[in-house]
Chain A
Amino acid sequence: MANTLRPYLTCIRNTLTAAMSLQNFPCQDVERHNKPEVEFKTNTELLLNPILICRNEAEKCLIETSINSLRISIKVKQADELENILTKKFLRFLAMRAESFQVLRRKPVQGYDISFLITNQHCEEMNKHRLIDFIVRFMEDIDKEISELKLSVNTRGRLVASEYLKQYT
């Protein structure tokens, strides 16, 4: 399981490094507007081919690029019912705080668990390589956090059960 994690993250990192060449591009259709083209997808000449990187059937990462913006959508592995609700809770918690994360999207793209939107503004403000570090670190942290939450629930369950049954002895 762990032996596919490193190649998966390296592949994502390389793709992002290649895709993150964003420049300012004012809107072609409406005067004085400057929109992230990847969200609207109105003009095909401004978009690049989307890339889908799959680790296995359950986990994948979609990277869509355009001339001034980049959208990364991630689907996280959810093995059972408990992991399902923990993932949903945690990612919803993060998405609600999208403003403090700046590059996070408030709602994930349809079919995925969480999405990022990086625009040329972000690339001007922040160091490009550090930004990619952040995205990869984010993905590792999600996996770690979900497994730690699951562990804490199981540990607490064990403690609760043994304390209760001790009452009868």
Chain B
Amino acid sequence: MILMQPQARAVLQILVNRSRVKQEKPLEIDFHLVEFNDVRYHILSVAKEPHYMTLSLGLPLPAPETVFSGDLPLGAVEAVRGAYGSLAQVKEPPEMGYNLTLRIDLSQLPADEEDCLQVLTKFASVRSVVLGAPLREILKHLAMNTVSPDADRLTALMHRPRESCFLVPQADKVTVIFPMRFKDANDAVLATSFLQEFMEARRTGGLNTAPPCLWSSNPPAELQGVSGLALDANCGFVSIVIFARHVEGDKLERTVWNLSTFHAYVSYHVKCSKAFMHTRMRRRVESLIQVLNRAKPDLEKDKKTAQGRSFKRSV
């Protein structure tokens, strides 16, 4: 599994199981789940209301330069209404400790198995809808080659708890800048070598249309005027330039998800690398110990004389 999927698999599993149960049967479900980057889910189904389920989403705290309207990213409520339509209702106020609560109407799910799965997958990707809402807005304008009138020259979006990435929207392209921060210094060195590969990956065949990526250890020129704390990045800055061809039609959703989880993707692969290295080192240790054991003549070999009698050699 190289790429990360927008739907939360545990949430999808619970929703599918719930939808398979006949709705007249009262069922009590209460699940609390946590996903990477501090995102929490709470799924609740009470016996009194067999046709409804509530799905609550909890988000981490944003950095000071990122603007949230209420407790949600800008445009999140509209995006949710647009994605789910009549199937889900946004409950005001959201559940205690969570940022968004949806009331899903199970009786309106399509009867066909495949369509139902598609709808439930969309529900399981609620994280992508909510967190990617401001990004989606800006990219929609890019697809039409315009800039939203109320977008600033430099927008800050949350992509990790208390950290933001920066967007420079223009009419023909959008530049996304990620200051990359890793807690562990060793991780930062491994990630630096990965990020440098991003710069060179475009040269391989077939990737000419991919967005150009740049990596630099100093903040790029577009980040002039941003406060020092936001620019503290021990692994350099990655700038990705998105053009209109990357956001037309179906590609919009994928682009939004890939950009929102860029840091998580790199960090996931750094950890996989470390695990692989451990496996290799363990194998190497075993082979070295075998070499060492050859040095020990502790097994007394039975030697045979010419007549066929065996004797033991006493050292």
- Indicate whether B226 reaches chain A with its CB closer than 8 angstroms: no
Q: Closest A-chain residue to B294, C-beta based?
A: A130
Check B207 against A165 for contact (C-beta < 8 Å).
Answer: yes
Q: Closest A-chain residue to B274, C-beta based?
A: A89
Q: Closest B-chain residue to A86, C-beta based?
A: B277
| A56–B201 alpha-carbon span in the complex (Å) | 35
- Indicate whether B276 reaches chain A with its CB closer than 8 angstroms: yes
Q: A82-B193, A101-B288, A160-B197 are in contact. Are A126 and B280 (CB under 8 A)?
A: no
User: What DSSP secondary structure best describes chain A's contact surface?
Assistant: helix
- Indicate whether A137 reaches chain B with its CB closer than 8 angstroms: yes
- For chain B, the count of residues having a C-beta within 8 Å of the partner chain is 50
Q: Closest B-chain residue to A148, C-beta based?
A: B280
- For chain A, the count of residues having a C-beta within 8 Å of the partner chain is 44
Residue from B190, B204, B211, B254 in contact with A162 in the complex, judged by beta carbons closer than 8 Å:
B204
| A141–B292 alpha-carbon span in the complex (Å) | 13
**Scoring A residues 70 to 96 as 1 if CB is less than 8 Å from chain B, else 0, what string do you get?**
000000000001101110011001100
Check A133 against B295 for contact (C-beta < 8 Å).
Answer: yes
Residues of B within 8 A of A145 (CB): 280-281, 284
Check A160 against B269 for contact (C-beta < 8 Å).
Answer: yes
Could you tell me the distance in whole angstroms from the C-beta of B308 to the nearest C-beta in chain A? 29
Could you tell me the distance in whole angstroms from the C-beta of B125 to the nearest C-beta in chain A? 15
Report A118-169 residues with CB < 8 Å from chain B CB.
Answer: 125-127, 130-131, 133-134, 137-138, 141, 145, 148-149, 152-154, 156-169
| A130–B297 alpha-carbon span in the complex (Å) | 10
Report B227-272 residues with CB < 8 Å from chain A CB.
Answer: 242, 246, 251, 254-255, 258, 262, 265-266, 269, 272
